[in-house]
Amino acid sequence: MGSTERSKLIGVIDEGTNIARFAVFKLPDLEELFVHEVKITQITPRDGWVEQNPVEILEGVRLCMVEVCLQLEQHGYQVRDIASIGITNQRETTVVWDKNTGEPLHNAIVWNDIRTNSTVDNVLARLPEQNHNHFRSIAGLPVSPYFSALKLNWLKDNIREVRKACREKRCYAGTIDTWLVWNLTGGINGGAFITDVTNASRTLLMNIETLHWDPLLIKTFSLHVDMLPAIRSSSEIYGRIKSDSVLDGIPISAILGNQQASLVGQRCMREGQAKNTYRKGCFLLYNTGTRCVHSTHGLVTTVAYQMGPDKPPVYALEGSVAVAGVAMKWLKENLGLLKDIPTDSEAIAGSVFSTGDVYFVPAFTGLYAPYWRKDARGIICGLTSFTTKHHIIRAALEAVCFQTRDIIEAMKKDCGINLNKLHADGIMTGNKLLMQLQADLSGIPVLKTEFRDPAALGTAMAAAQASGIDLYDLEPESWNQQRHVTTHETYLPTTTEEERDARYTKWKMAVQRSLGWAMTKKSEAMTDERYALLASIPASLFLLSSFVMLVFSQVNRR
């Protein structure tokens, strides 16, 4: 390559729930040149528990980096052509490790793990009216197994090695971005112990307005601030790679949680724009600009991005759907209704004109936004003797769309604005029937991106525009002058408002029938009233009163 073309490449580490990837983009048009990916093993020690080996994640990322660098050299590029590297990652997934040895203290607990249900109950019992929204005004989030604070609390309470490391002040904790950056920038030899505002906003430990760890939240979850990384913006130079790898010396200049990165990659950077990612679950983000909107309708407030330490944070409302693609996998593996999910789900569901009034609520592990009901469980209702697998599969696709509409309706109530289009990405968007159903059941156009991975693209944009790199302008006004263009496939609604509202009403009826199935087990003596009463008693008072009762009983025996 000629010298004038040097330093025009951006690398992106894309560490997702199932796959770790490394991709290289060429500026100025942000064309994806080379990519390599490896699968990450899912460990499920119990039903509802999901873990991953942090070392496997790190080594997978390193392997991808080596493979892509080989591809670069085979095509006439050099590693030094890479100007900087960005990181995008699965959010909420939590890692704890020994800061002195660099060894993990436990497997990473993945974002969709629900082992902390009992931890949630213990925390709620100490809050006024057991209100899971108690901390929304501080963190923007409800008390839910979904977020990192609960996972850290569980690890400290249940894993002896973690508890001991915390007591000895040698425990580091963070999300996947923190684990990767610390190791890639030196690890025990001065690695940068940091996270960015997007990932920190998913922990239930950061004050959503000050962008600092909140003392009350840290105390509530029995943690200490020394174990948490420094919070930085989403786009700045954090340090240089120093891990005896082929990329040593190259700066890391962007960190974004994967859903926020997708928002950037879809160019939803103006207030009022929204995107939905359709994968195992769904993640819908609505850009609220520099306004921090606190939802009163079941959504969470999150940081969308902060493109530099001196730039204001941009916020978003987010709604998460626990089960989307997972429902298709269940139909295939548990019921045997599908052989090839991408092909069969569209063909079989498309062979009937409707679900035959069948509704499927796939609440396998509860419902996320806007309901936040961990006691919900999956149901299929409206079955008749004429129902076939075609109707059930179509109902599963419609369930994805109805859950998305739930979130859109909540956003409308929170912001008072009707969404006029929805940007879509993710593996499920290859199903054209699903995209059309989404437009029909929500009543708004759906714009499916043609780009393979908008999260990686958004991270490349953020890394290239960082101060000190200065190879890209993220301001919307400059996009006409830059050559990169995002193309879309558009799906327009074909139903009437009356038709879709009637269907949506029945969906809400089905949701109500799914609630209350999974009940928290308590002993016969432990009624809700006693549980709340005991939980409200300070520990010291409880111990003192117990001691007095013990002494009193001994005196009576005499």
Per-residue pLDDT of the chain (558 residues; tens, 9 = 90+): 444 455 589 999 999 988 999 999 998 888 899 999 999 999 999 988 999 999 999 999 999 999 999 999 998 899 989 999 999 999 999 999 999 999 999 999 999 888 998 888 889 888 888 888 899 999 999 998 889 999 999 999 999 999 999 999 999 999 999 999 999 999 999 999 999 999 999 999 999 999 999 999 999 999 999 999 999 999 999 999 998 888 999 999 999 999 999 999 999 999 989 999 998 889 999 999 999 998 888 899 999 999 999 999 999 999 988 888 899 999 999 999 989 888 889 999 999 999 999 999 999 888 888 888 888 999 999 999 999 999 999 999 999 999 999 999 999 888 887 888 999 998 899 999 999 999 999 999 999 988 878 999 999 999 999 999 999 988 765 555 455 555 678 999 999 999 999 999 999 999 999 999 887 554 343 345 444 444 454 555 545 555 555 555 555 555
Is residue 380 one of the residues assigned to a domain?
Answer: yes
Q: Are residues 246 and 330 in the same domain?
A: no
Instruction: Give every strand in the sheet of 488-491, ordered side by side.
Output: 300-305, 314-321, 282-289, 274-278, 422-425, 446-449, 488-491
Residue with tokens 């997972």: 326
Cα distance between residue 142 and residue 371, in whole Å: 11
Is residue 391 one of the residues assigned to a domain?
Answer: yes
Is residue 275 one of the residues assigned to a domain?
Answer: no
Q: Are residues 128 and 169 in the same domain?
A: yes
Is residue 477 one of the residues assigned to a domain?
Answer: no
Query: The domain that contains 363 carries what CATH number?
Result: 3.30.420.40
Residue 87: phi and psi, rounded to 5, are -130, 130
Q: Are residues 249 and 314 in the same domain?
A: no
* Count of alpha carbons within 13 angstroms of residue 238, beta-carbon side: 34
Q: Are residues 535 and 505 in the same domain?
A: no
Cα distance between residue 527 and residue 131, in whole Å: 18
* Count of alpha carbons within 13 angstroms of residue 61, beta-carbon side: 27
Contact between 331 and 173 (Cβ < 8 Å): no
Among the residues of 109-189, which ranges form H helices? 117-124, 136-139, 148-158, 160-167, 176-184
Is residue 522 one of the residues assigned to a domain?
Answer: no
Contacts of 390 (CB under 8 A, 6+ apart): 348, 349, 351, 352
Cα distance between residue 80 and residue 101, in whole Å: 31
Question: Would you report the helix, strand and coil content of the chain in percent, each value rounded to 5?
Answer: 40, 20, 40
Q: Are residues 104 and 192 in the same domain?
A: yes
Q: Are residues 308 and 238 in the same domain?
A: no
Domain that holds residue 381: 283-449+487-514
Q: Are residues 333 and 234 in the same domain?
A: no
Strands 108-109 and 51-52 turn out to be: antiparallel
Is residue 272 one of the residues assigned to a domain?
Answer: no
Contacts of 234 (CB under 8 A, 6+ apart): 196, 197, 198, 254, 255, 256, 260, 305, 306, 307, 462
Is residue 545 one of the residues assigned to a domain?
Answer: yes
Domain count, the chain: 3
Q: Are residues 317 and 437 in the same domain?
A: yes
Q: Are residues 153 and 44 in the same domain?
A: yes
Among the residues of 416-538, which ranges form H helices? 432-442, 454-465, 497-514, 528-536
CA–CA distance from 43 to each of 1, 48, 56, 219, 236 (Å)?
44, 11, 12, 30, 34
Chain-centroid distance of CA 308 in Å reads 22
- Give me the torsion for CA of 250, 22, 424, 324, rounded to 10°: -130
CA angle 423, 424, 428 (to 5 degrees): 175
Contact between 457 and 30 (Cβ < 8 Å): yes
Q: Are residues 98 and 228 in the same domain?
A: yes
Q: Are residues 233 and 336 in the same domain?
A: no
Residue with tokens 């963070």: 174
Cα distance between residue 97 and residue 503, in whole Å: 49
Q: Are residues 196 and 316 in the same domain?
A: no
Is residue 475 one of the residues assigned to a domain?
Answer: no
DSSP structure class, residue 105: S
Read off the pLDDT of residues 13-32 as tens digits, 9 standing for 90 and up: 999 988 999 999 998 888 89
